[in-house]
Structure 1
């Protein structure tokens, strides 16, 4: 049994280690979806941790603010990862259901992702509505999926997906060095 909680700053190193194990340290940073997450914070209220009974992080899922071409504001889901010792227990599904319910509750209209269609189709993700959208880099189009949280949110959507979320704050001394 796990509990889904909001992610906290103390989760950073454990989450990063989990993602490195799940996707490979270098490989995950080369993904097209990563370009949309670089130097950004997850969407407000949409970063989650699955915790075991002792409170240890065993799963993670985050959603990110993007602009989905002509469809306007949307979310990018990912990465979703569960510690290998906890896989096949429904934790990924629990994280997905929780994240999508929260996104809907917060008024978001659509969620996009790059992932395994047979897995994500159980949550309603399809290629419908994303056929004319493109990502800023290479992607297997069969893995580029969308879900409307509001009917019609992706209707006739076209164009390039761009990051639109909050930037990671730059410390004052680093900002001064960058402008000097």
Structure 2
């Protein structure tokens, strides 16, 4: 049985090792990492999945960013250990994380990813939202956690500059 719970400080090294295992070397060279540097992941939204023996099976992190001055939740990375892929664990991490974000008052989320995978969670290509280069604009996807939350929100994705608990618009 797999249990999901919020990531804690003691999980950090294991989660980083899982991300290293699941993603290509140099993952930290991606533009999304420039937005995350020195900014803590949003506590309570970043989740880990552990099996009945306490072994890490998956993880997801969420980061605060801004677009046009508005708070946005940046989803990623999300990873599932190869021994647990195909079990729906990634989808559970995404759904539970997004639901926790809604409950905590976040209005919009975004990510850089494959539309065919993320469309099933409600993510769609964002128009007029620019990730730092070299990001393919077709992979910049957004989700309204509150209806209409992306309306009129256009511009460059920027680093967060306040405590991640400050999410009001």
Alpha-carbon distance between aligned partners in 2 of 1:6 and 1:12, rounded to the nearest angstrom: 12
- Counting matched residue pairs gives 163
Equivalent residues of 2:6, 2:43 under 8 A apart: no
Q: Name structure 2 gaps, 5 residues minimum.
A: 164-169
1:17 corresponds to which residue? 17
Alpha-carbon distance between aligned partners in 2 of 1:65 and 1:157, rounded to the nearest angstrom: 15
What's the CA shift for 1:30? 1.0
Alpha-carbon distance between aligned partners in 2 of 1:80 and 1:166, rounded to the nearest angstrom: 24
1:97 corresponds to which residue? 95
What's the CA shift for 1:25? 3.2
Alpha-carbon distance between aligned partners in 2 of 1:7 and 1:89, rounded to the nearest angstrom: 21
Q: What is the TM-score normalised by the length of structure 1? A: 0.86
Equivalent residues of 1:76, 1:113 under 8 A apart: yes
C-alpha RMSD of the superposition: 1.4
Alpha-carbon distance between aligned partners in 2 of 1:122 and 1:12, rounded to the nearest angstrom: 29
1:41 corresponds to which residue? 40
Alpha-carbon distance between aligned partners in 2 of 1:44 and 1:12, rounded to the nearest angstrom: 12
Q: Name structure 1 gaps, 5 residues minimum.
A: 168-180
What's the CA shift for 1:43? 1.4
Equivalent residues of 1:42, 1:64 under 8 A apart: yes
Provide Cα deviations, 1:24-71, integer angstroms capped at 9, x if missing partner: 232x1111111111111011321110111111111010111111225x
What SS does the corresponding residue of 1:25 show, helix, strand or coil? Answer: coil
Structure 1 moving runs of 4+ over 2 Å: none
- Inter-CA distance 17–165: structure 2 relative to 1 (3 Å threshold): farther
Asked if 1:158 is matched to 2:157, the reply is no
Rg larger in 1 or in 2?
1
Equivalent residues of 2:131, 2:137 under 8 A apart: no
Q: What is the TM-score normalised by the length of structure 2? A: 0.92
Q: Which has the higher helix share?
A: 1
Equivalent residues of 2:64, 2:72 under 8 A apart: yes
What's the CA shift for 1:165? 5.7
Alpha-carbon distance between aligned partners in 2 of 1:23 and 1:82, rounded to the nearest angstrom: 10
What's the CA shift for 1:2? 1.0
1:87 corresponds to which residue? 85
Alpha-carbon distance between aligned partners in 2 of 1:133 and 1:150, rounded to the nearest angstrom: 18
